[in-house]
Amino acid sequence: MFGLRRPSASSSKEPLWREEFSIFTADERYVGRRQMTKFLTLTSLSMFAGNLWLLGRAAFSKDRPAYPAVKVATAGEIPVGGVKLFQYDNDQCILVRTGETSYAAYSQKCTHLSCAVYYAKEKNRLECPCHEGYFSILDGSVLQGPPTRPLPKVTLEQRGSDLVAVGMTGGAEPGT
Amino acid sequence: MKAPDTPLQGRGLTAMDGVITLIIILLIVQMWLLSATLAAYLAGHRSAVVPAAFVSGLIFVGCAALYGFVERIDRNARR
Amino acid sequence: MYGYEFYIDPSRCIGCRSCLQACEECETHRGKSMINFDFIERRESITSAAYVCWHCDEPTCAQVCPADAIKKGEDGIVHSSLKPRCIACSNCVLACPFGIPKMMEPEQQMMKCDMCYDRTSAGKRPMCATVCPSGALLYAKPEVVAHTRRETPTNVFYFGSQRITTKVFMMAPAERDFLSIDVEDYMLEENDVRFATA
């Protein structure tokens, strides 16, 4: 059984286990590399699948429902440089009074790993304590640190003496 | 496989090493692409997702082609 | 060594056992010789034969090893079993048509001739071939052998219907292309006189 097959025969169809556990050291090196290549190709496939999943989510996401209008605070409720935390669209948000009549509100979830950002008054910026990511108070863009995306900004409207949150920009989808 | 057809085997191994290096480079690019696409999507830039998926697909096809090349070398070397 | 082949000619063996002694001196298996040494028909003759591993192209010992412990390298040498893998099952000992592998009891490992790999991979000749006074074990270039020997080297063997090609050559009568060895030919008949006791 073993010797009858001529060594020089082409297209020798050995069972798979004989190929994978070859008695020839030269073949062993091939097997190791071949398995590595197969693994790398599968990794590539999985990353492509990741991109496809994102594509699917983007393509089949529902039409955006309107953001609700939610009263956040009254004018004068917080002092200049003070903050107020509030819930908007299932998200924890932070309202900052940057000046006498100017306010800014952002999602409090740091875009890096979702730690809660706080307002650093002396530096006039939003800071994430976990990995020292800093965001601009003006538009939520990243000043330094590991975050890659700006902080989602809450659109504020003044209706009478009330501050109303009417939307959010820079986030992925409402309701997520 | 018999003992030393050594020049052919040496070339086959070198070719396989080269292919693995190429695939790893492609994978690094694809990895970056995936993370950048995710970041863009979460930031609200939906338009980036479609070309990114297309390019990622191209990279995968490239990796698959390189793997097919490796299989061909393997089969030749076994003969 | 490149260009050199190993030739076995049992008809030249004078039974001096220099090969056994020389093989024993190898550092990796000191005290244990890997030469297979036989007396042929000792009752009637002084014929002896010394063999080394034939390093088959498709080594039966490697193919039957359940632990994948026996490997054939790129240069054609079939090595002793890998110590971490060998489970001392003696499958290879039973399977080898030439009867070469030895199961080393204290070490629980199959060991056999590996063509003095530490020497031949560094440009030296195997110990046994170096010391054999009669040329029964010879490590030389094929041209030298063709020039100095009447016999023809062959590396094709038939065991029954099993065809085996090897790296090591055996000197055979000039007109032969291969050597056929049938176990039945070497088994004693029932009425053989050698069975008689006392």
pLDDT tens figures, C30-77? 889 999 999 988 888 999 999 999 999 999 999 999 999 999 998 899
Give per-residue pLDDT as tens, A17-30: 888 888 998 888 77
At C179, the amino acid letter reads L
Domain-embedded: residue A165: yes
**Residue indicated by tokens 């110590």:** C83
Return the pLDDT at A127: 93
CB atoms within 10 A of CB B65: 12
Mutation target among B56, B61, B73 for the A interface, most CBs of A within 10 A: B56
pLDDT band at C185 (very low <50, low <70, confident <90, very high): confident
Higher pLDDT: C180 or A126? It is A126
Do A75 and A45 belong together in one domain? no
Do A41 and A83 belong together in one domain? no
Domain-embedded: residue B54: yes
For the cut 60, the answer to whether the pLDDT of residue A9 exceeds it is no
Domain-embedded: residue A52: yes
Do A40 and A112 belong together in one domain? no
Shortest distance between the Cα of B18 and any Cα of chain A, in A, equals 11
CA dihedral A78, A79, A85, A89 (to 10 degrees): 60
Estimate the crossing angle of helix B6-42 against helix A25-60, to 10 degrees: 20
Q: Write the DSSP symbol of residue B79.
A: -
- The token pair that represents A63 in the structure block: 């039409």
CB contact under 8 A, A148 and B13: no
Count of structural domains within chain A = 2
Q: Which domain holds residue A107?
A: 70-169
Give per-residue pLDDT as tens, A138-173: 988 999 999 988 999 988 888 888 888 888 887 766
- The token pair that represents A128 in the structure block: 């994430």
Identify the weakest region by mean pLDDT among A9-13, A128-132, B20-24, C75-79: A9-13
Do A123 and A152 belong together in one domain? yes
Identify the weakest region by mean pLDDT among A99-103, A119-123, C164-168, C172-176: C172-176
Do A28 and A113 belong together in one domain? no
Mean pLDDT of B62-75: 86
Do A139 and A80 belong together in one domain? yes
- CA-wise closest residue to A154 among A101, A100, A99, A109: A109
For residue A136, list its beta bridge partners: A125
Give per-residue pLDDT as tens, A51-96: 999 999 888 876 666 778 888 888 888 888 889 998 887 889 999 9
Domain-embedded: residue B7: no
Domain-embedded: residue B1: no
CB contact under 8 A, A7 and C74: no
Do A83 and A136 belong together in one domain? yes
Backbone angles phi, psi at B37, to 5 degrees: -65, -45
Q: Which domain holds residue B65?
A: 16-78
Return the pLDDT at A8: 41
For the cut 80, the answer to whether the pLDDT of residue C197 exceeds it is no
| Contacts by C20-29, CB closer than 8 A, 24 or more apart | C20/C50, C21/C131, C22/C127, C22/C128, C22/C130, C22/C131, C23/C113, C23/C127, C23/C128, C25/C127, C26/C116, C26/C118, C26/C127, C27/C118, C28/C118, C29/C104, C29/C111
| Contacts by A4-12, CB closer than 8 A, 24 or more apart | A4/C161, A4/C162, A4/C163, A5/C58, A6/C163, A7/B1, A7/B2, A7/C57, A7/C58, A7/C165, A8/B2, A10/B79, A11/B79, A12/B78, A12/B79
Domain-embedded: residue A174: no
Last residue of a domain, one of A42, A60, A78: A60
Return the pLDDT at A172: 61
Do A158 and A78 belong together in one domain? yes
Count of structural domains within chain B = 1
Do A148 and A75 belong together in one domain? yes
Domains along chain C with CATH numbers = 5-57+115-195 (3.30.70)
Do A156 and A105 belong together in one domain? yes
Domain-embedded: residue A6: no
Domain-embedded: residue B9: no
Domain-embedded: residue B45: yes
Domain-embedded: residue B57: yes
Instruction: Give me the sign of the Cα torsion angle A165, A167, A170, A171.
Output: positive
Domain-embedded: residue B71: yes
Measured between CA atoms, the residue of chain C closest to residue A27 is C74
Do A33 and A98 belong together in one domain? no
- The token pair that represents C9 in the structure block: 């000619």
Domain-embedded: residue A176: no
For the cut 70, the answer to whether the pLDDT of residue A40 exceeds it is yes
Q: Residue C67: its chain A contacts at CB < 8 A? A: none
| CATH classification at residue A130 | 2.102.10.10
For the cut 90, the answer to whether the pLDDT of residue A31 exceeds it is no
Return the pLDDT at A91: 86
Residues A4-13 as b or e (16 or more Cβ within 10 Å = b): eeeeeeeeee
3-class DSSP state of A30? helix
Length, in residues, of chain A: 176
Do A77 and A163 belong together in one domain? yes
User: Could you give the CA distance from residue B34 to residue A129 in angstroms, rounded to a whole number?
Assistant: 27
pTM: 0.61
Alpha helices in A72-133 (DSSP H): none
| Contacts by C144-150, CB closer than 8 A, 24 or more apart | C145/C5, C145/C7, C145/C169, C149/C7, C149/C9, C150/C174
Return the pLDDT at B22: 92
Domain-embedded: residue A100: yes
- B-side interface with A, Cβ within 8 Å? 1-3, 9, 12-13, 16-17, 19-20, 23-24, 26-27, 30-31, 33-34, 37-39, 41-44, 46, 49-50, 52-53, 56-57, 59-60, 63-64, 66-67, 70-71, 74, 77-79
Backbone angles phi, psi at C148, to 5 degrees: -105, -10
Mean pLDDT for all residues in chain C = 89
Return the pLDDT at C137: 95
